[in-house]
């Protein structure tokens, strides 16, 4: 089956797993025979790249495939007709076009969404520690608000004084004339 796709229509990296599965559904059928690894003249871990791509770890898969020369020997060696060379090319293109979001973050978000990873808010270090002096800090903030209000009043009084000085200067100018 030919693998065709429009890179711009792939969406953002959040959909990487779905897009790879849609374009290369056979990638999940890898039987781990190692034929692709043995065929690769560059010593690329092709099988590992296929498996990483199949689970949406596009960045790791793309990094493994950086040295690929597209000789297609892995394609010829694959009994499942996965077409690893083209899958590697896809993940490299996806990674290049979607590098605004780290792919490991996307994987963590997918794990959270699927309930595979949880956040324990009761574990130490997840929440800021509140000391017994918390009430004192709140009282200090209230005092700061009063001081700010005093400063605002002082600004108004300063403006009134400046206006009075301008008026006095005008009166003095009138008396001189």
Calpha distance 149→147 (Å, rounded) = 5
In sequence order, what are the residues at sequence separation of 6 or more whose Cβ sits closer than 8 angstroms to the Cβ of residue 42?
Answer: 67, 68, 69
Give residue 162's pLDDT: 58
> Tokens 């209000």 appear where?
149
Residue 71: per-residue pLDDT: 95
> What is the block-wise mean pLDDT of the chain (177 residues), using blocks of 10 residues?
65 71 87 96 96 89 91 95 91 78 71 78 58 51 51 54 57 57
Structure tokens at 113: 């969404």
Write the CA distances from 78 to 33, 43, 81, 130, integer angstroms. 9, 16, 5, 59
- Contact predicate 35/77, CB 8 Å: yes
Residues 57-74: tens digit of each pLDDT = 888 999 999 889 999 999
- The radius of gyration of the chain's CA atoms, rounded to the nearest angstrom, is 33
List phi, psi (to 5°) of 166: -65, -45
Check residue 78 and give its pLDDT. Answer: 95
Does the model's pTM come out above 0.85? Answer: no
| End-to-end Cα, the chain, rounded Å | 100
Q: Residue 136: what pLDDT?
A: 46
**Tokens coding 58:** 């596009």
The confidence score (pLDDT) of residue 104 equals 67
pLDDT at 94: 84
Q: What is the pLDDT of residue 44?
A: 96
């Amino acid at each position: 089956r030919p693998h065709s796709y429009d890179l711009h229509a792939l969406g953002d990296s959040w959909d990487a797993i779905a897009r790879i599965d849609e374009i290369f559904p056979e990638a999940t059928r890898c039987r781990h025979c190692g034929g692709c690894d043995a065929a690769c003249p560059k010593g690329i871990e092709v099988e590992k790249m296929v498996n990483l791509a199949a689970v949406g770890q596009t960045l790791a898969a793309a990094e493994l495939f950086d040295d690929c020369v597209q000789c297609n020997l892995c394609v010829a060696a694959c009994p499942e007709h996965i077409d690893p060379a083209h899958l590697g090319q896809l993940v490299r293109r996806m990674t290049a076009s979607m590098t605004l979001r780290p792919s490991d973050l996307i994987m963590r978000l997918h794990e959270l969404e699927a309930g595979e990873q949880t956040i324990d808010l009761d574990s130490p270090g997840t929440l800021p520690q509140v000391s017994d002096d918390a009430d004192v800090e709140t009282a200090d903030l209230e005092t700061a608000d009063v001081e700010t209000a005093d400063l605002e009043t002082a600004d108004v009084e300063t403006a009134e004084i400046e206006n009075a000085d301008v008026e006095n200067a005008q009166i003095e100018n009138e008396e001189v004339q």
